[in-house]
Chains A and B, each alone.
Chain A
């Protein structure tokens, strides 16, 4: 076994060697084989026939054979197979066997490589065949495509030829058309000329005929009347004079004038009717819009401003009513302008409503500023029910407690306890109420701010429109001294300036409120929404949120204390807790915490 191992090792190493010098061996072997074959051409033969005569080695030439083999073997790089001991070559059996073994190994290996090579060769040849086949196929294809290509080329050429010929024919046709047109026009002119000539001749002939008829004193040409009749109107015919001519002219113009007057009257009537329609439309629009505004007005401070605005509107109404009779240009302008303005407002409103409707359809109405009344009421009912349930629950609890307490205790203690409970409850409720009040005040303040801003915005727009109208009016009537219009304008511009900080303020303050309220305020445009509705919703929201708040509120009080006393890692927690209450604190906290 150890021997095998030993032998196996060199073999593997040799193999490695072989592989490493593969290229050299490959080049060597093929060249060696033929020579070996040439040299020992008889060997395989002899091996097959086993004829002693032709054998390489015999009894006699053992020593030569040995030396020869030795030489050969050594020349091949194997260790010598005989040792020269005392001049006599001594066959070293071990080395011989080793050599033979090596040779056998070599042989086998070469056989294997040969086989490999052959299979490879076969593979290659088949590959080659395949490639040749594909090559020929591709060549065919190439040929085919080439032919096709030439065919296409040919076709293209033909088409081009065709195009050319068509273009030529087109050109010819065009020329033909041109020629024909020329011919037509020339013929037309010729025809016209001839016509004119003929007509002239014809008129000449007519003249001549007429002359002849007159000259001939046609006796037949006559009128036989028994007696002349009176005119249908009973008057006598008048002499033709300049007077009658003038009269005729006058009459003509009179009829024309009459016609124009009647037409104008018709148009006036039509105009008046249209104006009436416009007026009515405007009135209706104003009523629709003002009803909206009135519902808005409820809690706004600037009612007086509103009043003036409506006054203005009425003013416009009145003036336009006057213009119905006047129908002067500037008044018409005013009317149309005001109508346009109202229309725009109405359109905005409609669009808003539309968008709201779509929002409602999408189910986003909870976030929306305007909640349909029905939903509102539903919500309210639900909340009421909830409250009722809670109350019931509390009552039953209290009853249970009382029962529990009353069984061991006497009545007095029970009453005391009851009182205690009541007081506690009262206290808590008071606290809640206060909190809620505060919150509501905040809300209201904010809403006021918003409505104020929106109203101002609306007012400004109106002022601008009015300004424009007045400007136009000034344009049209430079004489009329409408001067005191500028005053509101300046105040409005002031308000425009003052508006921006306010809005900033709001932005700062709103995060302090609930998230929902933020969304509400940012979405709502107070003009569009009735004031009362959001307020109730807010109320409900706050109502719903009160229990949470309470828990927050009570804890932060302790938290504040803890904050001052305890370490800073609690402050983190409190900050989170406080976040529900006021972000201004949290901001300051956030600033403080890194320190």
Chain B
């Protein structure tokens, strides 16, 4: 495993182009575009203000830089560095800006969610979409970029509009049976739209592309409901994480519950393997059981090294008691992610912040639990392989694969505390972000899984 040198960035703004060739980073006013392989600067653009948001267009031709405070969006072209475009939302303000899937339109949401403005880069046309709803995820494009679903609020009722992205024509408009719609999400095949209610009510509605209600699912009433939703890449499963610390899996044929994954305090399922991150100071006696990775030379002397140990079951997961008087209590499943082959599901329960749970979707059971020393900040699946990378705000990167677990020290000068990470689309490198710096971690595809990793000796 190799690491690149360290670069500066601000606001955690660092994006890899969809084609995987370039890396865009923001340093205050400046936008720096590098070649991902050589890390040479290709282009350098200077914006009018500190950049708040960066996004690549789908064809990797343009980069959008939003400056929300100024209500400005600047678009830069990679092919024509001289080309420039500036969109000013004026007094309407700007809270969110994004590309349309075709990479030729910019969708700006104004302040107070007054409207969504669709700016075209191809023509002078501007269109407005009124009544967008301010919610968790009020807008979603289908995976193929053909359709956009937008949650709206009209006459105190939730509606959904489905637009054709090609010409922004309204395809379908229908009212939903929700109290307070919280989000919409297309299935990866773009044929089913999952709509969920706010956390006050556990309700998931599934609509066909043509606006027919396919199914409604509600697991329980009264107590706080859905916290997160995730489609499997195969569109076969819909995982619903909720405040009752469970994940429910719906199937795509009947839209009924297949199973539910609990996050129990005591793990006694013998099929599950529990990996516990151990600080290196511990006596390294049980070498045969432990899985650790020798970090390359040149690391700082003061950093503690860590390794994984397989725990004997049953084990007790440390929990954090949520404050019952506060809104949005830190309990329940807030983050879920399916692996690219839909084979595994990784979840995180908010009142067990140090643990990541990996579930086997073939056998529908718990496969592994990773217990970290610090709260897990971020985890992401390799887009190509069943491999999960996670970070805890420490100086290490952790990787899980069905074969085992490993932790890697980031060999940077000073302390490089990994706050977030993202995979390169090719799955052979990771972009690690600390508060002000970033570096690339090259994970050799074939070797990583095998090296220094052992199957649990059971």
Residues of A bordering B, CB below 8 Å: 195-196, 199-200, 203, 206, 209-210, 213, 216, 218-233, 237-238, 240, 244-245, 248-249, 251-253, 255-256, 259, 263
Contacts and interface: CB of A to CB of B under 8 A. Distances in A.
Contacts of B190: 255
A213 B115 CA distance: 11
Given A216-B91, A221-B90, A231 B156 contact: no
Contact of A223 (B85, B102, B154): B85
Contact of B169 (A213, A216, A218, A245): A245
A348 to B, nearest CB: 35
Nearest to A214: B128
B83 A227 contact: yes
Nearest to B80: A226
A72 B106 CA distance: 158
Interface in B160-184: 164, 166-167, 169, 171
Interface in B45-91: 58-59, 61, 71, 77, 82-91
Given A221-B90, A244-B167, A229 B121 contact: yes
Nearest to B189: A259
A230 B130 CA distance: 27
A210 B91 contact: no
Interface in B98-122: 102-104, 112, 114-115, 119, 121-122
Contacts of B44: none
29 contacts: A200-B156, A206-B112, A206-B114, A209-B112, A209-B114, A213-B91, A218-B90, A220-B90, A220-B91, A221-B90, A224-B88, A225-B84, A227-B83, A228-B122, A229-B83, A231-B102, A231-B122, A232-B58, A232-B61, A232-B104, A237-B123, A238-B167, A248-B169, A249-B171, A251-B164, A252-B171, A252-B209, A255-B190, A256-B191
A286 B49 CA distance: 81
Contacts of A203: 131, 153-154
A252 B210 contact: yes
B92 interface: yes
Interface in B383-413: none
A222 B88 contact: yes
A256 B88 contact: no
Given A199-B153, A206-B114, A240 B169 contact: yes
B85 A240 contact: no
Given A216-B91, A237-B123, A252-B171, A224 B85 contact: yes
Contacts of B340: none
A158 B76 CA distance: 88
B265 interface: no
Given A223-B88, A228-B121, 5 more contacts: A228-B122, A229-B121, A237-B123, A238-B167, A252-B147
B88 A230 contact: no
Contacts of A251: 146, 164
Contact of B209 (A229, A237, A255): A255
Nearest to A229: B121
Contacts of A210: 114-115, 130
Nearest to B179: A192
A229 B102 CA distance: 12
A203 B91 CA distance: 18
Contacts of A227: 83
Contacts of A209: 112, 114
Given A223-B119, A248-B169, A232 B102 contact: yes
B122 A237 contact: yes
A225 B121 contact: yes
Q: Which one of A210, A216, A219 has the highest number of Cβ atoms from chain B below 10 Å of its Cβ?
A: A210
A252 B253 CA distance: 20
B104 A229 contact: yes
B208 interface: yes
B42 interface: no
B219 interface: no
A259 B144 CA distance: 13
A245 B163 CA distance: 11
B258 interface: no
9 residue pairs, one from A and one from B, having the closest CB atoms? A220-B90, A221-B90, A218-B90, A259-B191, A224-B86, A225-B85, A196-B156, A248-B164, A223-B87
Nearest to A257: B191
Contacts of A199: 153, 156
Q: Which one of A221, A227, A228, A230 has the highest number of Cβ atoms from chain B below 10 Å of its Cβ?
A: A221
Contacts of A229: 77, 83, 104, 121-122
B126 interface: yes
Contacts of B59: 232
A245 to B, nearest CB: 6
A259 B186 CA distance: 14
Contacts of B104: 229, 231-232
